[in-house]
Amino acid sequence: MASSEIEIVSDSSEQKPPNGGVNEVRIVDVYSASAYGDFEKLRKFVEHDRDSLTKTDGGGYYALQWAALNNFADIVQYIIEHGGDVNARDNSGQMALHWTAVRGSIAAADVLLQNGARVEAADVNGYRAVHVAAQYGQTTFLNYIVAKYNADFDVPDNDGRTPLHWAAYKGFADTIRLLLFRDASQGKQDKEGCTPLHWAALRGNVEACMVLAHSGSKAELTVKDKAGYTPVELASDKGHRHIALFLSSALRSQSKHWKDRICSGCGGKAGYAPVLFSLVVINVILFINCVLFAPDLTKVTATVGLWGWTGVSLAVCALIMFVRCSSKDPGYIETRAGMHLDAEDPLLGIDLNSNSIWSGNWSQLCPTCKIVRPIRSKHCATCQRCVDQFDHHCPWISNCVGKRNKRDFVIFLCLGTLTALVGLLVALHRIWTSVPVWPAGETWAHYVFFNYPGIVAFLIMDTAILIAAGTLLSVQTMQIAKNITTNEVANRARYSYLHGPDGRFRNPYNHGCWKNCSDFLIHGHNDDNEIAWPPLQQVSR
């Protein structure tokens, strides 16, 4: 694979407006007037001084290009009305539309396209406006010209590189999400045999690799370029070991494990639900046979029997809730359901006034489910579905924990904790009262271990369940009191709605412990349409 980087868009976009200084703006001709948006002086030059708008400046660029670059739509319209050619090319074959893509000048691009600009026009490198937008991470602009003017978002340039190649190379994860959302091909190879994932791995763009790997298949992870490198090998060769490890892990996850086969009855979702269910049942049997009705222990009193059967009853209830939260829909989001989306294009009709639908963050696009998911939701890589108010995927119930089953999950944890606690206390009481003395020279623990193996096995399993269930219950209780999910706690740096003006953590959904808990207990979830204070205006990352 060639070590040279991809050549980016023409340097014309990087030039400063002509005849303008850093500290002083000098409007001396139609080019500087167009670049700085001085409409009055532009009219003077054209209508009074009779300056031409069809000629280029000293660098070979048109006044229309300078106005388009800086998004002066009114000036763009004026220039067109006074002879400016929307399809005029500079020395590199670029038109004004290419320049709008550099800074995402949507208003100017709209004027150009409505006046005959060719959205598929390419420069000498084969770059179209979609390529330039991808090179500069102008996701909103790219979406606009694709949605409204049907620009081809998967077209290759002269080197066979699509906008997805460019976005991956430059590390613009939001642009990648948009292109994948619109079904851009991950498998296309350029002249060097490289896919977008190859370029993301070469440059060490972590988030770009993550988005591509999660949305792709095994084929994209194993394809080789003309030099014989896979993306994993390329990342390792360039010293990006963290990316190589991630891609290797993603490749392993594409193959079925033994737990996937065991859990095929649970909707095909990998997890340990059958294992946990079996352990609980075995523990209940051990409790009944080795703790309550063991022949070598003292006779069960009425009080001990009451507590013992209370523990068994709690265990049965826990198993019922286990099956319920394991099989229940956690809040899967249906395609375009309740999104108020335009019938022709799902990204033109977004309800920008709904905080639960659109926060202005392109990470809300799900390339796999092809939906604009509500804020606080997330795509589960295991379930391959987007889940509303996603908390986490729990392998022990082989299901996600989300908006519709979180209360069931918490009840299951409560019952599990109480069951394990009652069982532990009854077992310890039975042993202590049944073994008042033991042979000399032998410790009590040693004697119990070898003479009551069934009780010891129960205590070990019960203690493990108590610690696990109690810890999870404590964590969930604290998060419910603050109305925040496990996913938001773990990834709060990625979610801009969880940060205040000073950049510090701020949870806009926290209405106070009492309201948070009462809403959860009554409704089973909190209403994320109601926020404690308006979140900051979101920007694309």
User: Which residue ranges form the domains of the chain, and what is each CATH number?
Assistant: 11-123 (1.25.40.20)
d(CA 504, CA 467): 33
How many CB atoms lie under 10 A from the CB of residue 452?
22
520: left (phi over 0), alpha (psi -120 to 50) or beta: alpha
d(CA 393, CA 194): 34
Burial of 155 (0-12, 13-18, 19+ CB in 10 A): middle
Which residues is 372 bridged to in the sheet?
365
**pLDDT value of position 137:** 94
d(CA 377, CA 333): 9
d(CA 247, CA 407): 35
d(CA 154, CA 164): 7
SS3 (DSSP) at 145: helix
**pLDDT value of position 493:** 80
- The answer to whether the CB of 256 falls within 8 A of the CB of 262 is no
**pLDDT value of position 534:** 55
How many CB atoms lie under 10 A from the CB of residue 17?
20
**pLDDT value of position 411:** 97
**pLDDT value of position 131:** 97
Q: Are β-strands 371-372 and 378-380 bridged in parallel, bridged antiparallel, or unpaired?
A: unpaired
Nearest to 318 by CA among 419, 197, 456, 458: 419
SS3 (DSSP) at 84: coil
d(CA 492, CA 378): 13
* Alpha helix segments (H runs only) across 120-216: 129-135, 139-149, 163-170, 173-181, 196-203, 206-215
* Alpha helix segments (H runs only) across 435-536: 444-451, 453-482, 486-490, 513-523
What distance lies between CA 121 and its chain's CA centroid?
Answer: 33
**pLDDT value of position 176:** 94
Q: Are β-strands 392-394 and 399-401 bridged in parallel, bridged antiparallel, or unpaired?
A: antiparallel
Which positions ≥6 away from 132 have C-beta within 8 Å? Answer: 9, 13, 98, 101, 102, 138
- The answer to whether the CB of 142 falls within 8 A of the CB of 134 is yes
Encoded amino acid at 447, one letter: Y
Which positions ≥6 away from 52 have C-beta within 8 Å? Answer: 30, 83
Burial of 238 (0-12, 13-18, 19+ CB in 10 A): middle
Encoded amino acid at 5, one letter: E
- The answer to whether the CB of 363 falls within 8 A of the CB of 174 is yes
SS3 (DSSP) at 289: helix
Per-residue tokens: 87: 């399809």
**pLDDT value of position 155:** 96
Written as tens digits, the pLDDT of the chain (541 aa) is 544 444 444 444 444 555 544 446 688 899 999 999 999 999 999 999 898 999 999 899 999 999 999 999 999 999 999 999 999 999 999 999 999 999 999 999 999 999 999 999 999 999 999 999 999 999 989 999 998 999 999 999 999 999 999 999 999 998 999 999 888 999 999 999 999 999 999 999 998 998 999 888 888 899 999 999 999 999 999 999 999 999 998 888 766 544 444 444 444 455 789 999 999 999 999 999 988 888 888 888 899 999 999 999 999 999 999 999 999 999 998 865 444 444 455 565 555 445 455 555 777 888 888 888 888 888 888 888 899 999 999 999 999 999 999 999 999 999 999 999 999 999 988 888 876 655 665 666 777 777 778 888 999 999 999 999 999 999 999 999 999 999 999 888 878 788 877 878 888 899 999 999 999 999 888 877 766 655 444 333 2
Nearest to 130 by CA among 117, 148, 143, 114: 143
Of 394, 414, 513, 517, catalytic? 394
44: left (phi over 0), alpha (psi -120 to 50) or beta: alpha
Which positions ≥6 away from 421 have C-beta within 8 Å? Answer: 466
Burial of 364 (0-12, 13-18, 19+ CB in 10 A): buried
SS3 (DSSP) at 466: helix
3-state helix, strand, coil in the chain (%, to 5): 50, 5, 45
Encoded amino acid at 442, one letter: E
Token pair 């054209």: residue: 46
- The answer to whether the CB of 189 falls within 8 A of the CB of 225 is yes
SS3 (DSSP) at 240: coil
Q: At what angle do helices 173-181 and 139-149 cross, to 10 degrees?
A: 20
SS3 (DSSP) at 385: strand
pTM: 0.73
Asked if 394 is an active-site residue, the reply is yes
